[in-house]
Amino acid sequence: MRGGLVAGTLAVALALTASPAAATGTGAAPGAPVAGVPQVQWGECAESALETVPEEQRGQFGCATYRVPMDHDNAAAGTVDLALMRRAAGKPDARIGSLFLNPGGPGGSGRTLPVLADQLFEPRVLERFDIIGFDPRGVGKSSSVRCFTTEEDAYDVLGKQVPVPLERQRISDVLHAYQEYGEFCAANTGALLNHLSTKDVARDLDLLRAAVGDERLNYVGFSYGTLIGATYANLFPDKARAMVLDGNVDPALRTTDSTRYERERAKGFEIALEAFLTECEQVRQRCAFSEGRPKQKFTELRERLRREPIELPDGDTVDINAFTGGVAGALYSPHAFPGLAQDLQRLYEVLHPPQEAEPADPEPSAPARNDLSTLLDPAENSRYDVRPDSPYTSQDAYLGVNCSDKRFGHAQERVPELAGEWERELPTFGRIQAFSDAAGCPAWPVREPDAYRGPWNRSTEHPVLVIGNYYDPATQYAFAERMADQLGFARLLSVDAFGHCILGNSAELDSATADYLVDLKVPGPGQVYEPDTHPFG
């Protein structure tokens, strides 16, 4: 859950003195129809979509479905439907326009993000903008990518895709599973599979901008959503008003040398892990894994698990797949760090039992699997624990989008060699990253789709805000630096923080973001912000 927000009273007062036309940067009133583009027709949202919204606020929300071309260059190819949700501006008379959000993924559902908007933005942003979330094509409630017709088929294929295959047969099974996955997708998805690139999404977004009556786009994208923003800024630089990109990809590397990009993603996780273990050692008693030398203890755990699973006192086991995936997942959120440290220490004590506990000690060490909840969340693999032949209800946009955008220069047969190379350099996360997109996309059925691969340097009227955490595992800080360098007009905002993305968790950054979105006030260069809370704090 993202943290609370602090509103700047003076900034709110200044924002309310600006006319909507002045703040928008155009002379047109926001919300006016754009010629030739059908408007979005907002209606009521399903009860389930608003179940966390207080009754008295539900009137602010509306939902819609909007139809766009499947192929923007060929109207005869048919259409796809996009699912939208809007949270109306709190002060409609002072409304600047709409603010579109995307949570990343790719494959993340953004439709209900407006429900969480007060956890991401200061109140003055919510007062001045309609907040709009949408499921991109292929995702969620929009026309979605579904590769399987039954859960049994999904289980048979996806159940083989262990994240850290070591034995020759496991490696062969994983590679074959990716081939089968692509075959199922080609058989069951239809023409949409050829139109899932980020370029397609950016062109959809431009239609949505016009369909809500905005002459210029206001946009906040997280993680992969930063690639949507960068693509839009270069396809439609004259139609961008304010864009905030949090947790950035390296757009040029991701779309042209994807093998190297995946290797550098693994490096980002290694940097974050190193920082976590260093922080643990420094805070000592506040980190349960701090006794002794945390880095050496972690290495011992990893190397033991690489050889064989660790058996817990209750007879259950922990293997290298669960361990690596659990550590990677916990690094996304510094709120999980205390729990991760405790779980690592408990697992370490299985190998090195402490001396017999004194009578006053409250908890002798005998962890069961349920005691390692941060590291081994059982819900993580729930998609495989299903009744055979039940209807398949998941969606498969992740590889569909990534394999449309990314360009790998190796054949799938080379993946085991790459995994060995990467693991020698990046011992915890090199192998898991090699057996992700770098293994799946070379077997993907769509070849050379119409993806956007640059240039990335077209200038927008106002700078794009590019936000990067120093210890972001999934999109390392160097990616934010490169995004800011590659864009034609950008301002880098650095945050001395752990975790993936930061908006809503740093009051001073949130205030600067609100200044920018509302008044187009850009922070000075070289800004470094602090998070509201620190790990183990």
Secondary structure of 312-339 as H, E, C letters: CCCCCEECHHHHHHHHHHHHCCHHHHHH
Query: Percentage of residues in the chain with pLDDT exceeding 90?
Result: 84
The answer to whether residues 136 and 204 touch, using CB atoms and an 8 Å cutoff, is yes
- Burial of 76 from C-beta contacts in 10 A (0-12 / 13-18 / 19+): exposed
Distance CA 136, CA 225 (A): 10
Please state, as a whole number, how many other Cβ atoms lie within 10 Å of the Cβ of residue 190.
Answer: 13
pLDDT digits (tens, 9 = 90+) for 363-400: 555 788 888 999 987 433 322 233 345 555 578 999 99
For residues 158-171, give the mean pLDDT. 95
Task: Write out the DSSP string of 25-77.
Answer: TSSSPTTPPPTTSPPP--BPPPGGGGTTS-GGGGGGEEEEEEEEESSTT-GGG
Number of neighbouring beta carbons within 10 Å of residue 355: 5
Q: What residues contact 362, with CB distance under 8 A and at least 6 apart? A: none
Are 523 and 291 contacting, i.e. CB atoms less than 8 angstroms apart?
Answer: no
Q: Which residues contact 360 (CB under 8 A, 6 or more apart)?
A: none
Other Cβ atoms less than 10 A from the Cβ of 71: the count is: 17
Q: Is the bond into 106 cis (omega within 30 degrees of 0)?
A: yes
Task: Report which residue type is found at 443.
Answer: A
- Helices 320-331 and 258-283 pack at an angle, to 10 degrees, of 80
Q: Does residue 248 surpass a pLDDT of 60? A: yes
Instruction: Determine contact, residues 484/492, Cβ cutoff 8 Å.
Output: yes
| Mean pLDDT, range 437-451, rounded to an integer | 91
pLDDT > 70: percent of the chain: 89
pLDDT at 56: 93
Tell me the C-alpha distance between 45 and 140, whole Å: 15
Question: Comparing 512 with 360, which gets the higher pLDDT?
Answer: 512
Count helices and strands (H / E) in the chain: 18, 11
Across the chain, mean pLDDT equals 90
pLDDT tens-digit readout, 511-524: 999 999 999 999 99
Cross-strand pairs, 98: 130
Q: Which residue shows structure tokens 């002379």?
A: 27
Of 212, 256, 180, 227, the closest CA to residue 31 belongs to: 212
Q: Dig out the tokens for 447 from the structure.
A: 């070849």
pTM of this structure:
0.91
464 to 376, 467, 502: CA distances (angstroms): 38, 10, 16
Q: Report phi then psi at 368, rounded to 5.
A: -100, 170
Does the pLDDT at position 133 exceed 80? yes
Q: Which residue do the tokens 């009133």 mark?
A: 29
Lowest model confidence (mean pLDDT) among 55-69, 364-378, 437-451: 364-378
In tens, the pLDDT along 304-354 reads: 999 999 999 989 999 999 999 999 999 999 999 999 999 999 999 999 998
Residue with tokens 């999904």: 154
Q: Which two tokens stand for residue 494?
A: 């650095």
Dihedral (Cα; 177, 449, 215, 119), 10-degree rounding: 20
Residue of 110, 138, 79, 204 whose CA lies nearest to 403 = 138
For 129, the token pair is 């903008």
Scan for tokens 């027709």, then name that residue: 41
Give burial (CB, 10 Å; 0-12/13-18/19+) of 394: middle
DSSP 425-446: HSTTTHHHHHTTHHHHGGG-S-
pLDDT single digits (tens) 1-46: 333 322 232 222 222 223 333 333 333 456 676 778 999 999 999 9
Burial (CB < 10 A; 0-12, 13-18, 19+), residue 65, is middle
Degrees to nearest 5, angle at CA 259 with 255 and 261:
60
Q: Which structure tokens are listed for 361?
A: 């000690």
Residue 238, pLDDT above cutoff 80: yes
pLDDT in tens, 465-519: 999 999 999 999 999 999 999 999 999 999 999 999 999 999 999 999 999 999 9
